[in-house]
Amino acid sequence: MKQKTVNRRTFLSKSTACITGVGIAGTCAMFGRENLPHEQKQPAIKEYRVLGRTGFRVSDIGCGYPGLVNESVLKAAIAGGINFIDTIEGHGGGNSEIAIGRAIKTCPRDSLFINSKIAVTEKDTGETLVARVKKSLERLDTDYIDGLMLWHATTARETENKVFHKAVRQMRKEGIVRFSGVSCHGSSYADEPPETMDKIICAAVDSGRFDIVMFVYNYVQKEMGDKILELCGKKNVGTTLMKTDPFGGAYNIVTNMVTNYQKENKEIPPNIQKVYSKIMKSQEQAMPFLIQHGLSDLNARKEAAISFVLNHPAVSTVLISFSNFTEVADYIRLSGSRLTDRALSEVNSLRATFGPLYCRHACGICESTCPRRVPVNTIMRYNNYFVAQSREKYAISQYLGLDRPNAGNCAGCEGFCEAACPFGVPIHALLVDAHKNLSLTGEYA
């Protein structure tokens, strides 16, 4: 790897270059296209937005971290004009970073914003974090990363992590990290003080130490995100969104569950049948409306979900975990889209119809009622990776790595969590199915 030192002057010139954004990203798309056989068919990003105080203009559709990066798919995304690429330090044995390193060679480095996330453990020191980031840079085959986020903060206090901030200060001086950030899915476990995602991220933004943030925002789970977006707008902090399509996951989870029972010629358990009947009834009642408004298939609903979040002026980029070329083309087509007032009211109707099926990301309200301290919301997030995002291996590995009781405890339970859910989510059956998907044995405690 070429280990070129980036001094302060080079650094500033990179920043200035990036502020010009649109032109550079256009250049980047052209560079990528030279290498692709079907260039004419590729849709292109239509809108670039300023990523808060970083000044960098990022594509409104960005590359989320898909667990295992497919180099060719990422090259297609870059060729389409996507210039925000998210990753995580060391995941998958570092192979994803290696794939990203190869893919980003298709265009000038300073036309891309590469964002990584790092988990900080109690054993870490400033030195170990710096060493880990340097290893990341080797795998990414680049001299610097643009953003380094404290990964998955679960309390406001965690965002004050001295080791992380000290390491970031040093790496900024060395020119190997340009901006600091934080990502959050809310609190993880019942025994922590109940801190919501907006409380955690807003505390981080108010501290003035973070330039970019990553959080959940969609048309069902919107209230917390609205607060964060308003504050980020005022403080000029860049916003990157994840989990922007709530419905696909909820719908797929239950319908796949029933299909599997049918395929295996097994009787559908009564609690799952109850949820399935509820979905089918909602769908049946909603179908005339969905057909009338062109929302009768999942793709149309996905488009509505993305357009909804893009409508918010404080959103910088919407992260999508692309797993194939079709997804790249489909999502890039949504760049620059806006919802009309009428379409907004349609999305609100979707929320009323399907909202009760969705275990809200970054929620966890029910977890304190579980006598076994099962991390309900985290498990449902892993199941969403498994069912809705085709990230089976990643989802299973995360589930097996849980350091709290898993959903194997749920089968014989009377479902205290479900009774406590203010949104009416049939969570008991969903947890039982999640365990079936995510555990290797499918056995219950």
Which residues bind to ligand SF4, rule: CB under 6 A?
A: 359-360, 363-366, 370, 372, 374, 376-377, 409-410, 413, 415-417, 421, 423, 425, 427-428, 431
Least spacing, CB of residue 287 vs ligand SF4, in Å: 25
CA distance linking residue 245 with residue 313, whole number of Å: 18
* Residue (6 or 420) nearer to ligand SF4, CB: 420
Minimum distance from residue 79 beta carbon to ligand SF4 (Å):
38
Render the burial of 213-226: b for 16+ CB within 10 Å, e for the rest: bbbbbbbbbbebbe
Work out the widest C-alpha separation in the chain, in whole angstroms.
Answer: 68
Question: Is residue 60 classed exposed, middle or buried when 0-12, 13-18 and 19+ CB atoms within 10 A define those classes?
Answer: buried
The structure tokens 């190869």 sit at: 102
For residues 132-171, b (16+ Cβ closer than 10 Å) or e, as one string? bbeebbebbbbbbbbbbbbbbbbbbebbebebbbebbebb
CB of 316 to ligand SF4, least distance (A): 27
Q: Please say which residue, 75 or 243, places its beta carbon nearer to ligand SF4.
A: 243
- Work out how close the CB of 226 gets to ligand SF4 at its nearest, in angstroms, rounded to a whole number: 18
Residue of 32, 24, 19 lying closest to 328 (CA atoms): 32
Of the two residues 170 and 273, which places its CB atom closer to ligand SF4 in the complex? 273
Q: From the CB of 410, what's the least distance to ligand SF4, in Å? A: 3
Are 366 and 420 contacting, i.e. CB atoms less than 8 angstroms apart? yes
Strands (E), 5-92: 48-50, 57-59, 61-63, 84-86
The Cα–Cα gap between 430 and 269 comes to: 12
By beta-carbon proximity to ligand SF4, the closer residue of 22 and 365 is 365
Under DSSP, is residue 79 helix (H, G, I), strand (E, B) or coil? helix
Minimum CB separation from ligand SF4 for residue 247, in Å? 14
Q: Given the complex with ligand SF4, which of 88 and 362 has the nearer CB atom?
A: 362
Beta bridge partners of 314: none
The tokens 């977006």 sit on which residue? 229
- Residue 189 or 416 having the CB closest to ligand SF4: 416
- Residue 250 beta carbon to ligand SF4: minimum distance, rounded to whole angstroms: 10
CB of 419 to ligand SF4, least distance (A): 9
- Closer to ligand SF4 by Cβ: residue 45 or 190: 190
Pairing between β-strand 57-59 and β-strand 238-242 as defined by DSSP bridges: unpaired
The CA-atom distances, in angstroms, between 278 and each of 246, 274, 349, 353 are 17, 6, 17, 11
Taking the least distance from each CB to ligand SF4, the nearer of 189 and 289 is 189
Nearest distance, CB of residue 409 and ligand SF4, angstroms: 4
Q: In the complex with ligand SF4, which residue's Cβ is closer, 150 or 379? A: 379
